Every structure is written in C-alpha cells, then in structure tokens.
Amino acid sequence: MGVEDMQANENVVVLMVPFPAQGHLNQLLHLSRLISSYNIPVHYVGTTTHCRQAKLRVQGWDPLSTDGNMIYFHEFPTPAFQSPPPNPHASVKFPSHLQPSFQAALLLREPVAAVLTKLSPTAKRLVVIHDSIFPSVIQDVASIPNGEAYSFQSVSTFCISTYFWETLGKPAGINDDIEEKIPSKGTTTTMTPEMRELVDSQSEYRKYSSGALFNTCRAIEAPFLDVLAKLNAKQWAIGPFNPVELCKSATKQRYNYLDWLDNQAPNSVIYVSFGTTTSLTDEQIHAIAVGLENSSQKFIWVLRDADKGDIFTGDTRVCQLAEGYEERIKLTGQGIILRGWAPQLEILAHESTGGFMSHCGWNSCMESMSMGVPIATWPMHSDQPHNALLVTKVLKMGVVVKDWAHCNELVESLTIEKAVKELMASKKGEEIRMRAVELGTSIKKSVGEGGDTRREFDDFIAHICR
C-alpha cells in the first residue's frame, strides 16, 4: 500500500530507516512490528534488495500478513555499486566487502525526503526512527513542520557507555579486569579505516535526533543505561525487539533439522553460528570441525560465508570440510551442518538448545539472552568484543572461546573443544546456564504487563502521541 492509499488525519505515522546490514535491518523490522501493535502505521524504507532481505529472514511473525498489519514497505532501486567477495584472510574481520553497499545507502537521502514530504500531511506528527550510523539520510526531517527524529542505537549500552566512563563515571561492578579488556576507542582491530571515516562523517547530522532508542532492557544493562542517561535528555530502553515467545503458527516453514532437535535431550545441543558478516579461513573451519567433534557434544553448525552486498546475486563460496566429516557426524547423530541462512531465533528457542557459540553481534546476544541460552563468545569485529565482555564478565552467562587480546590468532581445535565442554558438560557450565535461564525469565517479565520494557515502551508511545 502506498502513501496515497492511507487514511488521512492519523495522529502519528512512523518512518523507519534502517542501515543496510542484516543485524540492523532485522532489529528495526522487529521494532516496526512492536510499534504497529499500538495501532500506529509504520513505513519501512530501504533499497529493494535490503527490504526483500529483511522480509525473507524475519522470524517469529510474518511481515507480509494482512491480519492487522500496519507496516508498509517503500522500496527504492538499489544504487549501482561493485561489492568484492568476502575475504576470509583479511587481517581485520570487519566486512570491508560490504563498504560499497554502505556508501551507496547514503544516496537514500533523496527518496527518504520524498517519502517524508508525502507522509507529512497524513498525520499530526511524523516520527522518523533511523539507525544512528547514518543520520545524514534523514536530515530533511528538519524541514518538515510536524517531523521529529529518534536515533536507534543498534549496539549494547555497555559498548556505548565505555567511551564515556572517564567523564561520566564508571558504573559499580566494573573492575580493572573488565576495563583492561575493553578495546580502545578508534582501534584498527574492530573496524576498517573506511568504516570509521563513514561513521565520523555523520557526526554533524546527529543534532537532528530528539532522543535515543535502545534494543535492551534494565534487566540486562541497568548500570550502563544510567550512565547514558547523563548524556541523553530522552532515552528509552525498549528491548528485546525480537519475539520472546514464538508462535508456531507464525513459522513460515518447518525445517528438517528442527525434527532432529526434537529428538535430542533438553539443553544438550550447542548451536554454532558466527553471523552474516563473518568469513572464516579453511584452516579455522577445520579447527572448529575437529574441536566440535572431539568435544563429544551434540551440535548444529551454520557453516556459510559472509553475506555479499546483494545476497540475491552471484555465487557464494562453499566452505569446505574434510572428506567424510559431514557424513560421519550425521551418521553418528552427533551433529548437523547447515549451509544456508538459518532461523536462529527458532533454534535458540528450542528446548534442546543448551548453548550458543557466537560472534556476539548484539542481535544474536539479545536473541540468546531472551531465550535463556548461555553463550560461548568468539567476537569478530565492531561492538562484538564489548558484547563478549558483557556476556562473560558482567552478566556471567558465558565462557570465552577467543579472547580479544588474541584477535589475530587462529583458535586451535583444543581451545574450541575445551570451551564447548566447559559450557555444555561441566559444573561451571550448569551454573552459567542457570544464570542465563534466570536472565531470560527476567527479560520475559520485562516485556509483560507492568515490566520495565513495557512501561518504557508505553512511555515512548505516549511521548510520540502527545
């Protein structure tokens, strides 16, 4: 449905402007669902490719359902760009091959401005929620009389707040052991110079934000939200955005490996996935394969290369395993290898899943925490080293596979084997799992009636409907 088909005189209309990377697209599409549940129409803007990607991979609900759905997609032609293939041998694991698509997304300013102009007369207030990485795309909201913008922070408040501890004060409970492991600001190990330049180029446009939104809740990050409250005149912690209870009827298809999970004991399977932006060398893949098999633990391993700039075009590298490995683990019943994109939320929600070996992207952390699943941390880039520290040192609901101090080193199979055994088959692992389950319960309560997240969400809705 287009703007012209909508009923006029809506009190509030929301325009959602995500950054074109899977974790960002996903979070703001989930947020669109939550806002639309308040009977507020939400318009989701992006390139045709990235809107299609977001709709294809969303889990727990169907964005194309017409049953009470108030989400409208505005898809624009993808600007021409040439994206090189992912490089598993890159010294920095940040997905530099996606940089051309990130730069091309900055050209969305003009079509976004056109949508703003069309939407403005249909509502008392036009609310723009944009990814904090590229506020220049929504800068024309300043010329819309009834427009206001809110910045969505796609990473943990722990990560953001670490940059301000020196001036605002360090939260209680953060000891020297934690602080010394935090990557220094501007480090070249977490982000490429090109991406740093893009982020820095956006600083002058952050003035258009009227407040900050976080995909987190006080059950997870209360001390760090308190730090950022000293900076932000208005902020709302309204996560998790992902559904915390999955409705089976909302599942678009039944995957074969879910049948395999159904036949495993509760909490017996470790799910292994390093997100959509990680590309591993053949040597590292071999070490993971050996470590998982030697751990004697059940596992589901998503073995795929990083997303390309356009996931719908071109060939994708097939990650190689030793001859006979895949057939052997399948025959013994120890594990399953998944070669394509997998519905992570559904796997984490399954009662047989008892652990998650993860790159610690914030999307993955929130999904795992909300399902009460402990994490074996293996950060790759960006905010992930911070998230890994939050999981292991602050929340104490995970074990370390790769310490960031050794980010450029190969993780040996024995290290992987030990981490899997520690999480899945040790007394310490049981204690960690109990803490993860307790946190998951607290998160579920926070989104329920009277919970912190529900109250903050109601407050945000009341604010934009004032």
As annotated, the active-site residues are 24, 131
CA angle, 55 as apex, 360 and 278 as ends, to 5°? 30
How far apart are alpha carbons 456 and 444 in whole angstroms? 14
Which residues are CB-contacts of 193 (< 8 A; sequence separation ≥ 6)?
none
- Per the structure block, which two tokens stand in for 48? 């045709």
| Residue recorded with tokens 């999955």 | 246
According to DSSP, residue 156 is labeled: -
What are the beta bridge partners of residue 17? Answer: 130
Question: Inter-axis angle of helices 427-447 and 218-229, to 10 degrees?
Answer: 70
Do 446 and 219 touch, CB atoms closer than 8 A?
A: yes
Q: State phi, psi for 412 to the nearest 5 degrees.
A: -70, 155
Q: Is 184 exposed, middle or buried (0-12, 13-18, 19+ CB in 10 A)?
A: exposed
Do 445 and 439 touch, CB atoms closer than 8 A?
A: no
Closest CA to 31 of 46, 41, 16: 16
| Residue recorded with tokens 């999981």 | 391
Q: Is 34 exposed, middle or buried (0-12, 13-18, 19+ CB in 10 A)?
A: buried
Which residues are CB-contacts of 65 (< 8 A; sequence separation ≥ 6)?
none
Do 364 and 379 touch, CB atoms closer than 8 A?
A: no
